[in-house]
A and B are shown apart, each in its own frame.
Chain A
Amino acid sequence: MKRAYADIPEGQIHYRIEGEGEYIIMLHMAVSSSDEYTRVIHLLSKKYCAVAMDYLGQGDSDPAPHQYSILEHARTVISFMDALGIKKANVVGQFNGAMIATEVAINWPERVHKLVMAGTGFWEESEAKALNEPPDFTKRVELKKDGSHLFEWWRRTCLWGDYPVEILEERFLEYAKAGPRGEETHWAGAVYDLKPRLPLIPCPTLVLDATHYPFHYLAKDVHKLIPNAKLFTIENGPMYLDRAMPNEFAGAVMNFLK
């Protein structure tokens, strides 16, 4: 696997790439980076050219010029594909990445073969109203001289299940790299209305679900709304599915793509 930078209009996009063949673009969750996919990339690279990019303001990419929406991030994915000369690709996205992948597929259908949406969901209107106040895991974190911001980032890292400490540290490092602006990606997801977009997805889609995903209870509803979709649930799959169960994640993607 190699790491590299691509130049898009807003600045440099950091990415990881491995393998040869048809392209798979991999889009990460909020406050994360292409690093979450390293294990999955190794597996996919046997049959595909797997490319995972860091959004602006995440991982090692340049910051976004202002808080970017899901659609603006989707446009950077297209800019990134242009920079690498990638005409068409399969697109895999987890959580926020699934929302961004949705917008890529709807707005630039000629660039997408197939779509894999992992862990995405939507709130009903009543729930959305209750979210006027951001949940306390997405509030902005300020740097503090006593280092207490580090414990807040660690607390948020540990909210999503029990993992080996190395995996927790990987996620923590994403918070530290993204810094105080890191939560902008969560906020972009919170104001994005996924439900009406799903019926507009033009390409074959896999709804990749896991029993311990927060939106597991919505997977069937998401699947029903997409015209040409399959649903697959990974038993015992946790939130950090790609980091913790890369074999199952990559296996599900490869089964669907072939």
Chain B
Amino acid sequence: MKRAYADIPEGQMHYRTEGSGELLLLLHMAVSSSDEFTGMMHILSKKYCTIAPDFLGAGDSDPSPRKYNVIDHARTIASLMDVLKIKKANIVGHHLGSIVAAELAIKRPERVKKLVLSGIGYRPETDEGIPFEDPPNFMGAVELKKDGSHLMEWWRRTCLWGDYPVEILEERFVEYAKAGPRGEEAHWAAMDFNPKARLPLIKCPTLVVSATYDPFFSVAENVKSFIPGSKLKIIENGPIYLDRAMPKEFAGTILEFLNSSGK
């Protein structure tokens, strides 16, 4: 695995890459980075040229010039593909990454082969009868404090999403620290997406992935129904940090879908 920087119009975009063959882009969740995919990339790189960028303002990329929405982030991914001379790629997105991947597939269908949308966010309407609740205060702005209390707030947010080995918790914590006080802009961008209106516009072969302990598991069938001709794969006992915690299962699901012919 190599790490590198690409120069896009807004600045430097950091990315990880491993393997050769057909291209596979991996887009990370909010307040995270390409680091979440390292385990999966080792597996996927046997058959694909995997590239995982850090969104602007995340990981080791330059900050975005202002608060970016998912359309802006999708445009930066297209810029990255231009710089790396990638005409077309399969795209895997996890949470926010899946929203950005969806927008790229809608706006630039000629750049996307197949799409894998993992944990795409859909908050059901009350009349749909599906109970859903975000945990309290998981995305309010955090200011740096001289007593270091901002660190415990970031740690608390890291630990909201299930029980993991401390090494995985620490990986996610470092993402919060790297993104800094502007880090939550990524969550705000994700909230500003209308799945019911946008997802039906996807034309390419799509796999919806949902893990049973993911917050959006209860609406996975709804999401699948929004995307014409899409498939749905449930990963049993999968948590929200699916790629970090179950890289084999997640990578295996992707390989199976990409290897299958047609829709």
- Choice from B2, B5, B144, B152 contacting A147 with Cβ under 8 Å: B152
Give every chain B residue within 8 A of A169 (Cβ-Cβ). 144, 177, 180
Distance in angstroms between the alpha carbons of A20 and B191 in the assembled complex: 44
How far does the Cβ of B162 sit from chain A's closest Cβ, in whole Å?
13
- Contact of A179 with B170 in the complex, beta carbons under 8 Å: yes
Q: Tell me whether A165 and B146 are in contact in the complex, defined as CB-CB below 8 angstroms, given that A3-B12, A60-B3 are known contacts.
A: yes
* Residues in chain A near residue B5, CB distance under 8 A: 2-5
Verify if B42 is at the interface (C-beta below 8 Å from A).
Answer: no
Q: Give the total of A residues in contact with B, Cβ under 8 Å.
A: 25
Q: Which residues of B have CB within 8 Å of A145?
A: 159, 166, 169
A12 contact from B3, B156, B180, Cβ within 8 A: B3
Question: Would B2 and A144 count as touching, CB distance under 8 A?
Answer: no
Tell me whether A143 and B144 are in contact in the complex, defined as CB-CB below 8 angstroms, given that A154-B151, A172-B151, A177-B174 are known contacts: no
Q: Is A176 an interface residue (CB 8 A)?
A: yes
- Which residue on chain A has the smallest CB distance to residue B7? A2
Task: State the CA gap A155–B151 with chains docked (Å).
Answer: 12
B37 at the interface (CB under 8 A from A): no
Task: Give the contacting residue for A166; candidates B4, B144, B156, B167; CB below 8 A.
Answer: B144
On chain A, the residues within 8 Å of B174 by CB distance are 176-177
Q: Is the CB of A173 within 8 A of B177?
A: yes
Contact A147 B146 (CB under 8 A): no
Shortest Cβ gap from A140 to chain B (Å): 15
* A147 to B160 CA separation, bound complex (whole angstroms): 13
Known A-B contacts A145-B166, A165-B144; the reply to A150 vs B3 at CB < 8 A is no
- In the bound complex, CA of A176 to CA of B166 (Å): 13
Closest residue on chain B to residue A147 by CB atoms: B155
Does B167 lie within 8 Å of A3, measured CB to CB?
A: no
Interface string of A136-168 (1 = CB under 8 A from B): 000000011101001100110010000001101
Interface residues of B in 160-214 (CB under 8 A from A): 166-167, 169-170, 173-174, 177-178, 180
Contact pattern, A 172-186, Cβ under 8 Å of B = 1, otherwise 0:
110011010000000
CB atoms of B60 and A151 under 8 A apart? no
| In the complex, B148 has a CB within 8 A of chain A | yes
Decide if B152 touches A150 in the complex (CB within 8 Å): yes
A31 vs B166: C-alpha distance when bound (angstroms): 21
B85, CB-defined interface residue at 8 Å? no
Q: Which A residues touch B66, using CB under 8 A?
A: none
Q: For the complex, what is the distance from the CA of A83 to the CA of B146, rounded to whole Å? A: 40
B181 to chain A, nearest CB (A): 9
Task: Report the minimum CB–CB distance from B3 to chain A (whole Å).
Answer: 6
Asked whether, in the complex, the Cβ of A3 is within 8 Å of the Cβ of B60, the reply is yes
Bound-state Cα–Cα, A147 to B152, Å:
7
Closest to B61 in A: A3
CB distance from B30 to the nearest CB of A (A): 19
Q: Contact check, A12 vs B167: say whether CB atoms are below 8 A apart.
A: no
Q: Among residues 1 to 43 in chain A, which have CB atoms less than 8 Å away from a CB atom of chain B?
A: 2-5, 12, 14
Per-residue CB contact flags for chain A residues 43-86 toward chain B (1 = under 8 Å, else 0) read: 00000000000000000100000000000000000000000000
The residues of A that contact B156 with a CB separation of less than 8 Å are: 147
CA distance A166 to B3 in the complex (A): 27
Q: Per a CB cutoff under 8 Å, which of B14, B159, B167, B177 touches A172?
A: B177
For the complex with contacts A147-B156, A154-B148, 11 further pairs of A-B residues with Cβ separation under 8 Å are A60-B60, A143-B167, A147-B151, A150-B152, A151-B152, A165-B144, A165-B146, A166-B144, A169-B180, A172-B148, A176-B173
Complex A-B: 25 CB contacts under 8 Å? A3-B5, A3-B12, A3-B14, A12-B2, A12-B3, A14-B3, A60-B3, A143-B166, A143-B170, A145-B159, A145-B166, A145-B169, A147-B155, A147-B159, A150-B152, A150-B173, A151-B148, A151-B152, A155-B148, A165-B144, A166-B144, A169-B180, A172-B148, A176-B177, A179-B170
Task: Spell out A's residues near B (CB within 8 Å).
Answer: 2-5, 12, 14, 60, 143-145, 147, 150-151, 154-155, 158, 165-166, 168-169, 172-173, 176-177, 179
